[in-house]
Chains A and B, each alone.
Chain A
Amino acid sequence: MRLVIAKCSVDYAGRLTAHLPMAPRLVLIKSDGSVSIHADDRAFKPLNWMNPPCTVREEAFEENGAIARWTVTHGKSGEQLILTINEILHDVSYELGVDPGLQKDGVEAHLQELLAEHITTLGDGWSLVRREYPTAIGPVDILCRDHTRGTVAVEIKRRGDIDGVEQLTRYLELLNRDPLLAPVRGIFAAQEIKPQAKVLANDRGIDCVTLDYDALRGIERDGTLF
């Protein structure tokens, strides 16, 4: 990752032509060759960019106060991004290595852990059998017993969608073949359950439970009556 802050103007020649006048900007040159030019606002969209595969050619260019010209050429289409640089204010490179990726299911795993810890949220007298109860088609989030010792399989989602209900239905079908567990009831637990998912779940005899993440974490709400 190379970060350059430079006074530059940018010309783009390709499917359309665009011109950014001379101004100080942030230029990012990433290890895959991509180049993006950012202004000092907003979080997501560069002013101009070139996706890989592309090559960067740096050359000296002394005209109208410029000191260098960088030409970024796209490998396939031949589109060009031309940066005319008047002054380089900052130029550093860091090796970032391989990125582990965005973890979106952190909350889901945490919900599972919390609900297993506080299984009585689902009802008084309930007890946990185990988290990640293995079945031939993958682990069920939580297997527990209700107050009558009946087996209950719980599928936990952050957003309860119709896919989650289908997933739970498959687990239930398999679990119900086990004479030691059957009959197994299903509970679909999520922070928010879509109306379609609720209808499907009810139609299949699966109960829906909306989870309060804050309450499970023990974060008390301020200013309530009780």
Chain B
Amino acid sequence: MKFRIDRDALADAVAWTARSLPARPPVPVLAGMHLEAGDRLKLSAFDYEVSAQVSADIDVEEPGTALVSGRLLSEICRSLPPHPVELTTDGAKVMLSCGSAKFTLMTMPVEDYPSLPAMPPPAGSVGSDEFAAAVSQVAIAAGRDDTIPMLTGVRVEIEGETVTLASTDRYRLAVRELHWKPERPDFSAVALVPAKTLADTAKSLTSGAELAIALGGVGGAGDGMIGFEGGGRRTTSRLLDGDFVKYRSLLPSEYAGYAEVQTSAFVEAVKRVSLVAERNTPVRLSFSQGEVVLEAGTGDEAQAVEALEATLEGDDITIAFNPGFLLDGLGAIGSDIARLSFTTPTKPAVLTGKPAGDGANPNYRYLIMPVRLSG
């Protein structure tokens, strides 16, 4: 194998692929990055859960394959000088030269490397930036501990042209709807994708305008998998088992009222006031006509109070939230004005952006459970 490649192209491709290298490889070859030089260079990494493959333009002199330590290659590529890079295999070694820097890497047996899972059948495509934004809005609400594995996933529901993403950790629930272009107009599918993988993938596949999603293999190839492809990068992930919570029934159907507050001022105020909130203690929000008073801390401890301008539709209400959860939601709504819709101080409230017009449905909803106030 012998080829030349642009330094930045190699560094980008290697860095992206290296994200899928397993932290604790059960077999040594999985710590390797697979290089295949043909018309283009193909780099792959695989940890039995997630696979990543990227292709890049090269000047190939001699096609071939090699398997080298992925960690090491990515560290080397990150710090190469700005010159074209040449990679050559020499027996059981790979030589990498860039300007005056030369590296010799040991290779691992290519034939021991597992073959990457096949992509499931293509299901449709979605704007990559919109998808990345949608995933980041939803993934924040996913659970992080393994007690209930189902909660560490993002539920993806596809019904024709609508994709609904949802995740919850039992304290909050984030739901986002977006449009996409399915291969078939009657396409429908559901999947539970590990939230961390989905968030990382969506964020890193924004180089192309469109992101192709592959899903819904039954039996045979791609069963229990989801695939994403965009900008020369493709990745597959195994899906989580289990039924997701029937989350739609958790969303209140009607509200007693709602309040609107300017998002940036609200975020700043919550951050300030929550400085005195001990761990697991809430920030209390008292809404009245024209204003909301934020308070934290009780009795013998430090206390903080701040008042903000707000509009209230409905009766005065005092409701308390975990400040971390509230801030996550405010950061995700992606709107200048935040709307908090509520029924009672003990029932879940819904955080959304202010709808564009009357009756317009917000495409993102963040349901948050209030903290019950004692006394």
Q: State the CA gap A222–B250 with chains docked (Å).
A: 16
Q: Which residues of A contact B147 (CB under 8 A)?
A: 210-212, 215
Are the CB atoms of A193 and B26 closer together than 8 Å?
A: no
Q: Which residues of B contact A47 (CB under 8 A)?
A: none
Q: State the CA gap A208–B369 with chains docked (Å).
A: 30
Chain A: minimal CB distance from B21 (Å): 14
A14 within 8 A of B: no
Q: Which residues of B contact A39 (CB under 8 A)?
A: none
Are the CB atoms of A225 and B24 closer together than 8 Å?
A: no
B20 within 8 A of A: no
Are the CB atoms of A225 and B369 closer together than 8 Å?
A: yes
Return the chain A residue nearest B370 by Cβ: A223
Q: State the CA gap A222–B23 with chains docked (Å).
A: 36
Return the chain B residue nearest A195 by Cβ: B24
B170 within 8 A of A: yes
Q: State the CA gap A226–B367 with chains docked (Å).
A: 12
Are the CB atoms of B24 and A223 closer together than 8 Å?
A: no
Are the CB atoms of A225 and B372 closer together than 8 Å?
A: no
Are the CB atoms of A223 and B372 closer together than 8 Å?
A: yes
Against B, the Cβ 8 Å flags (1 = close, 0 = not) of A187-225 are 000000101100110110000101110010000011111
Q: State the CA gap A215–B151 with chains docked (Å).
A: 15
Q: State the CA gap A200–B26 with chains docked (Å).
A: 7
Return the chain A residue nearest B48 by Cβ: A202
Q: State the CA gap A178–B348 with chains docked (Å).
A: 53
B145 within 8 A of A: yes
B215 within 8 A of A: no
Take A193-B146, A195-B24, A210-B146 as given contacts and tell me if A225 and B371 are in contact as well, using a CB distance cutoff of 8 Å: no
Q: State the CA gap A59–B151 with chains docked (Å).
A: 70
Q: Which residues of B contact A215 (CB under 8 A)?
A: 147
Say which residue of A196, A199, A224 sits within 8 Å of B171 (CB atoms).
A224
How many A residues touch B, CB cutoff 8 Å? 18
B173 within 8 A of A: yes
CB proximity to A under 8 Å, residues B155-173: 168, 170-173
Q: Which residues of B contact A221 (CB under 8 A)?
A: 170
How many B residues touch A, CB cutoff 8 Å? 21
Q: State the CA gap A50–B149 with chains docked (Å).
A: 52
Are the CB atoms of B370 and A203 closer together than 8 Å?
A: no
Are the CB atoms of A202 and B250 closer together than 8 Å?
A: no
B106 within 8 A of A: no
Are the CB atoms of B348 and A225 closer together than 8 Å?
A: yes
Q: Which residues of B contact A200 (CB under 8 A)?
A: 26
Say which residue of A196, A208, A212, A222 sits within 8 Å of B24 (CB atoms).
A196
Q: Which residues of B contact A223 (CB under 8 A)?
A: 171, 369-372
Q: Which residues of A contact B24 (CB under 8 A)?
A: 195-196, 199
> Which of A200, A225, A226 has the largest count of B CB atoms less than 10 A from its CB?
A225
Q: State the CA gap A4–B370 with chains docked (Å).
A: 53
Are the CB atoms of B367 and A225 closer together than 8 Å?
A: yes
Against A, the Cβ 8 Å flags (1 = close, 0 = not) of B206-247 are 000000000000000000000000000000000000000100
Are the CB atoms of A224 and B170 closer together than 8 Å?
A: yes
Chain A: minimal CB distance from B231 (Å): 32
Against A, the Cβ 8 Å flags (1 = close, 0 = not) of B360-375 are 0000000101111000
Q: State the CA gap A121–B173 with chains docked (Å).
A: 23
Return the chain B residue nearest A221 by Cβ: B170
Q: Which residues of B contact A196 (CB under 8 A)?
A: 24
Q: Which residues of A contact B348 (CB under 8 A)?
A: 225
Q: State the CA gap A195–B146 with chains docked (Å).
A: 12
Q: Give 8 closest A-B pairs by Cβ, nearest first.
A: A203-B26, A210-B146, A224-B170, A212-B147, A199-B24, A210-B147, A225-B369, A223-B369
Could you list 18 A-B pairs, sorted by A, with CB under 8 Å?
A193-B146, A196-B24, A199-B26, A202-B26, A208-B146, A210-B146, A210-B147, A212-B148, A215-B147, A223-B171, A223-B369, A223-B370, A223-B371, A223-B372, A225-B170, A225-B173, A225-B250, A225-B348
Known: A200-B26, A225-B170. 4 other contacts (CB 8 A): A210-B146, A224-B170, A224-B369, A226-B245
